[in-house]
Amino acid sequence: MNWYKTNLEISTHGKGLQDITSIVRAQLRDWGAREGMCFLFLQHTSASLVLSENWDPTARADLETFMERLVPEQDSWYTHDLEGPDDATSHIRSMLTDTNLTIPVDDGDLSLGTWQGIYIFEHRSRPHHRRVLMRVLSME
């Protein structure tokens, strides 16, 4: 059994879904882990880790639009606005999605579905540096 770990540093471009699948895949191949589990953990409460459709960009656009409509920044009832109108909304959007993912590894690769990609969903308007802890437990 083997244990691999690194902390991925990702620069986001501000609000929206950003594909990090290739970064995670490359790290896994670099380690040469063949079979086991991959654990991803985002160390933030104003962004998310999401598995989403990776083929048609309109799917992602709709996810982003939905979040803007479900948790709108224009709402006047938020009390947590020290850092701006995207402050409370970011934490709410993070709570409604995921911040940790647990993905099987088979044959040296992530066992994602054909159309599944791993995304950071940045909820803050401005670009941020985000840290994703990546851990792999392999059975070899």
Residues that bind a second copy in the complex, under the rule CB under 8 A? 1, 3, 5, 35-37, 39, 41-46, 50-53, 56, 58-59, 61-63, 65-66, 69-71, 77-80, 82, 87-88, 91-92, 94-104, 106, 111-116, 131, 133, 135, 137, 139
User: Could you tell me whether strands 47-53 and 116-122 are parallel, antiparallel, or unpaired per DSSP bridges?
Assistant: antiparallel
Residues 5, 76 contacting (CB under 8 angstroms): no
3-state secondary structure of 32: coil
CB of 16 to a second copy, least distance (A): 13
Q: For residues 7 and 22, which CB has a smaller minimum distance to a second copy in the complex? A: 7
Cα–Cα dist 4/132, whole Å: 14
Q: For residues 23 and 137, which CB has a smaller minimum distance to a second copy in the complex? A: 137
Q: For residues 19 and 56, which CB has a smaller minimum distance to a second copy in the complex? A: 56
Residue type, 29: R
Q: Which of 56, 41, 48 is nearest to 17 (CA)?
A: 48
CB of 17 to a second copy, least distance (A): 10
CB of 43 to a second copy, least distance (A): 3
Q: For residues 74 and 114, which CB has a smaller minimum distance to a second copy in the complex? A: 114
What are the structure tokens assigned to 9, written together? 């540093």
Cα–Cα dist 41/61, whole Å: 24
